[in-house]
Structure 1
Amino acid sequence: MFAGLRFAFGTLSVLRVRVHRWDRPTAGRAMLCAPLVGLALGALAAVPGVLLRVLDGGPLLAATGCVAALAALTRGLHLDGLADVADGLGSNKPPAEALRIMKASDIGPFGVLTLLLALLAQIAALAQAFTAGTWVGAFGAVLAAVAGRSALLRGCLAGTPSARPDGLGAMVAGTVRGRYAVPVGLAVLAVLGAGGWLVGGHGGSGPRHALGALLALLCGIACAALLLTRCVLRFGGITGDVLGAMVETSATAALVVWALFAGS
């Protein structure tokens, strides 16, 4: 499990962690640890938002700080995947040609537009959460990071094919077994529900915030699963870009739901 944890932090974050094992069993354990990576990254990303609010920065500035910090903590890896998948899906080309477009280093118009809208949605939703309270916004950053990485459990579930014979997608595709994913998912639900309750407890809205956190996670994963289905049908399987797009899709949807519950 420690090898899987190293693999998870080494591939899903900018943190300098030496990966000693690079094989499919370790990759499967790494994907099971992905929500824990999200928890760590979310906590780190929330720091600038909290500091900006303490220094009388506005909710929009705090939200921008959190989103920028999370992007920096991943080198923009998942955002790049989102843009590449948007270009691939929007190209209307055959699968092989669409995969070639996704692998290219440049970003097309579909990718730019999707990236812009996703970042705007994340910042707007998080700003609404920060308007409701500093800790409500900070928890939103954590929630988004955890929800995004939790979607990787679905993306790498047993039976999910890889679109390419090599690359990160081929390494992790189908490595997560359902009997392990279910307890991990339940643990993530419990932790986020408890966190939402604590954030809203001081104002007497603990149950509402807990429900919001649970629905945010479930909605985020559901949206990522829809994207996964589309990508498997379109490309024949997953790639590292598809997984990155799932992370950003889940995080964005979770933030929107959290803002509707906690920021209203």
Structure 2
Amino acid sequence: MARLPIRVTGGAAAVGAGLRFAFGTLSVLPVRVTRWDRPTAGRAMLAAPLVGLVLGLLAAGLGAGLSELGAGPLLAAVTSVAALAALTRGLHLDGLADVADGLGSNKPPAAALKIMKASDIGPFGVLVLVLVLFAQVAALAQAFAVGPHLGGFGVLVAAVTGRGALLRGCTAGTPSARPDGLGATVAGTVPASRALSAGLVTLTALGTGAWCVGGGGAGGLRLAVGALLALASGLICAAVLLTHCVRRFGGITGDVLGAMVETASTAALVLWVLFAGS
């Protein structure tokens, strides 16, 4: 079902409501959502990369701390991935599994959406979850093996890129597959110009952060390029998934958005480790 574009405007109170919506729906942080409407949802999705930054810092700090204490790169990687899952109640992983089952069923849109809404996880969902989690852990373990700071920043890149994918998933013109639910609330709420601006801010922040982690100079430039390519690859993979889901289901759902987050995060980690893990 198509939605009219939402103009995201408002003062400090409106911005605050959007931030509460973002952190209240995308994390387990104790934030009370005070408004649940489409304009607020648009502001919340614009703030999604900020949520990724906060969650990424928490998970990266835990993983890097364990690595510094000598826990080993594999344990640091597993802990970081588990922390991100815990900080989101496994919401995005659940969406990934549901979308995998819906797409794997090869059924018409209505039947596929019904499968996705079921509480159980089918064989396609289990297989995709296992492969994605293994890929994330393997990439992070390689980065942590080089240094705690590189592994920790990889966690941050993955978390921010994953939530940045929500900007594309909720851009104006993106339809909702259902008339209700989270997908219907956020679909089409982010003006394309605002999504582009938020994306550029995210890109600049990650590139600058990677340059600092690399100590500046040639090493910093190499990591900055790696971070930017990781962000770009993650967003491209998520966009491909979005296009396929809109074609198959008729629009987005909350599960599709969750699958986009995990897809973008995984692709970003794979690219990051090529620069940081060698």
Deviation at 1:202, TM superposition (A): 6.3
Matches within 5 A, 1:18-167: 18-167=32-181
Whole-angstrom CA distance in 2 between matches of 1:127 and 1:54? 14
Q: CA RMSD in A?
A: 0.9
Q: Which moved more, 1:129-138 or 1:228-237?
A: 129-138
Residue identity opposite 1:52 in structure 2: L
Whole-angstrom CA distance in 2 between matches of 1:205 and 1:63? 23
CA offset digits 1:75-124 (Å, max 9, x no partner): 00000000000000000111000000000000000000000000000000
Whole-angstrom CA distance in 1 between matches of 2:180 and 2:218? 52
Secondary structure of the residue aligned to 2:71 is coil
Deviation at 1:131, TM superposition (A): 1.2
Deviation at 1:204, TM superposition (A): 4.7
Q: Find out whether 1:227 has 2:223 as its counterpart.
A: no
**Counterpart pick for 2:211 among 181, 186, 197:** 197
Whole-angstrom CA distance in 2 between matches of 1:47 and 1:99? 38
Whole-angstrom CA distance in 2 between matches of 1:203 and 1:50? 23
Whole-angstrom CA distance in 1 between matches of 2:16 and 2:195? 17
Q: Which moved more, 1:46-55 or 1:228-237?
A: 46-55
Give the count of matched residue pairs.
264
Deviation at 1:198, TM superposition (A): 0.9
Secondary structure of the residue aligned to 1:205 is helix
Structure 2 unmatched ranges of 5 or more: 1-14
Large movers: runs of 4+ above 6 Å: none
Whole-angstrom CA distance in 2 between matches of 1:50 and 1:140? 10
Corresponding residue for residue 15 of structure 1: 29
Whole-angstrom CA distance in 1 between matches of 2:184 and 2:52? 22
Whole-angstrom CA distance in 2 between matches of 1:176 and 1:124? 34
CA offset digits 1:239-260 (Å, max 9, x no partner): 0000000000000000000001
Structure 1 unmatched ranges of 5 or more: none
Q: Find out whether 1:256 has 2:267 as its counterpart.
A: no
Deviation at 1:182, TM superposition (A): 1.2
Q: Which moved more, 1:44-53 or 1:238-247?
A: 44-53
Whole-angstrom CA distance in 1 between matches of 2:213 and 2:141? 16
Deviation at 1:26, TM superposition (A): 0.3
Deviation at 1:168, TM superposition (A): 0.1
Whole-angstrom CA distance in 1 between matches of 2:64 and 2:200? 28
Deviation at 1:190, TM superposition (A): 0.4
Deviation at 1:70, TM superposition (A): 0.4
